[in-house]
Each structure stands twice: as structure tokens, then as C-alpha cells.
Amino acid sequence: MTPAQLRQTQPALTCIGPGPRPVWSFRNPHPPRPIEPFDLFHPAVPPELEGLRILHLSDLHIERLRPRPAYLERTLAALRVTPADLVVLTGDYMTHPGDEPAALAALIRCASAWNSRFGACAIAGNHDTPGFLKSARIPGLKWLSHESVEIPIDRGRGKTTLRLIGSGFPESLLAASSPPSDNFSLALVHDPAQVYAAARLSIPIVLAGHTHGGQFRPHKSFAPHTSCDLPGAFASGIFRLDSTILCISRGLGSAFLPFRFNCPPQAPLYTLRRAEHAAQACPTLSCVRRW
């Protein structure tokens, strides 16, 4: 498929910079919930990675008083029937000190449920304690902290390597991305504000969580609080800065308030596609697709 044909497959929600407000896609989520599939376009995707499926889990926020919340059970059921090539996790598996055993049990259940062809990698979030991270050594799950890992990929389109960059907490993509590599790179961060460092480092794709998509939205397109330096309009979705694509998941759990409003849980399932950017230049952080 040519780049022009790939661009035609992109949903009509695409926009860069000022323009009409895009439709928010979570109003009609695809089953099995909370998994939502999206095509993720970037011109640097090599042919060997075309069609690679990456399942993104973030912000479970398991608490000892609610060790098996309903959203976790729905997520486990969805994981069992959703094949992926790679599973990535971007932090906040627990909420408060003392939640470590419950969060670890939930993560073990997730690891036994997901179907990942090339393994799973995770980073920590600001709520995850050193004690939890020390105990969360789960077979098949690789933890990244200020480091990168080269993952061999062979999906029948030729052998290649995906470079996965994992920022620890406190986050430093500069430390995590050294030494440089010629392989296609994808970064895992918890706080999406790291997109500015990623753009300076020319990292093609960044996956983040932390905001919960706002968690409580008086209106579906208004997120008054995101626990992040980015404005509420950047609470969740796909964004672009220079040649870097930033994907912010709404996440799965909740914190501080034990519910969500106008902001359902989400586990994005990205399929990598090779296509030119919709606009040649993008010097400021701009919307590609909101959810």
C-alpha cells in the first residue's frame, strides 16, 4: 500500500494545529472494552514493522481496599481474547503505600491474561513505591528504568529490531535513550510532558499515561484537571510535536476519586503504519486525534 493510500485510511478526525474541534472517539468504543484499536502513522516506520500491534496498559491504580475492581475484571477478559505483538505498561499500578500486595496480584493476573508475541515491557509511575517495584519481578515482563532494550522482531516481513526506550521515575529520556541507535525507536514515559525532550531527541513515537484523560470531565471535551503540565485539551489522544508522535492513554483506573465521569477506561491497541505526516511542519504540540 502506498503512503497516499495509507493516508486515505486515516479517520476524518485528523487535524494539525488550529481548526474545527475533532470528534471525541470514546463515545463509541470498540469491543472488547476497554481495548480500543487505532492505526498509528509515522513516516519512519520500517516495512518490517508495518502492522505491528502494540497494546498499551496504563494507570491501573489498584488499592488494597478494592483489590479486584470491575474495570480490572473487564480488562482481564479483554486481554484473553486480544492478541498483540507487544504489550507495554506505563506506570501507576498502585495508588497509596500499603497497596503493593494488591497491585502485584493484579499485575500477575494481567501478565497471565495477555497474549503477546514479543513479550512485555514496563516502566514505573509516580505512585509506584520502591517496595512494589522490587517485588514486581514477573516472568515475561521486563522493567525499564533509564535504559533502552533492543527487541528482535520477525513477523514474516523480514527481520528487524525495535528499540524500546524506558524512562524511569523521576523521568529522564536523555539518560534512557543513550547510547543512540539507528533502529526505529518507541519511548515509554509516564508523564506526557516528556514529549518536549522526546522531540529534541527525535524519538518517533512516545506512549504515555498519567493524566487519566482528566478522569472527571464536566463535558466530554473539557478536562479541568490532568495532574500534568499540559493543558486539559491535551488530556488524551494522539498529538504531534515536530516529527514526534505522542499517544496519551486515558488509562484504566482512577485516583483520589473512586470513579470516572465522561471519561471511560481505555487500553489502546496501536497498529504501526508507515505514512507521511499530514503536515510538513509542526513546531508546536498539536492535535492529531482526541479520545
What mean pLDDT do residues 264-282 have?
92
What mean pLDDT do residues 231-240 have?
92
Q: What is the pLDDT of residues 92-145, one digit of tens each?
A: 999 999 999 999 999 999 999 999 999 999 999 999 999 999 999 999 999 999
Alpha carbon dihedral 53, 267, 169, 182, in 10-degree steps, equals: 20
Contacts 24+ apart (CB under 8 A), 260-263: 260/212, 260/215, 260/216, 261/215, 261/216, 261/217, 261/218, 262/216, 262/217, 262/218, 262/219, 262/220, 263/26, 263/212, 263/213, 263/214, 263/215, 263/216, 263/217, 263/220, 263/223, 263/236
Q: How far apart are CA 122 and CA 203, in angstroms?
A: 18
What's the mean per-residue pLDDT of the chain?
88
Starting at the edge strand that comes first in sequence, how are the strands of the sheet with 184-188 ordered? 147-154, 159-166, 184-188, 205-208, 244-248, 237-241, 286-290
**Which of 30-39, 92-101, 197-206 is predicted with the least confidence, judged by mean pLDDT?**
30-39
pLDDT recorded at residue 232: 85
pLDDT recorded at residue 7: 37
Q: What is the pLDDT of residues 140-164, one digit of tens each?
A: 999 999 999 999 999 998 999 999 9
What mean pLDDT do residues 242-260 have?
93
Q: Which of 236, 192, 185 is nearest to 91 (CA)?
A: 192
Other C-beta atoms closer than 10 Å to the C-beta of 80 total: 12
Q: Is the pLDDT of residue 15 over 50?
A: no
Other C-beta atoms closer than 10 Å to the C-beta of 244 total: 23
Q: What is the pLDDT of residues 172-187, one digit of tens each?
A: 887 888 777 889 999 9
**Residue 230: pLDDT band with limits 50, 70, 90:** confident
Q: What is the pLDDT of residues 92-106, one digit of tens each?
A: 999 999 999 999 999
Q: How far apart are CA 213 and CA 222, in angstroms?
A: 10
Strands 147-154 and 159-166: antiparallel
Query: What residue ranges define each of the domains in the chain, with the CATH number in brackets?
Result: 31-290 (3.60.21)
Cell matching residue 205: 513515537
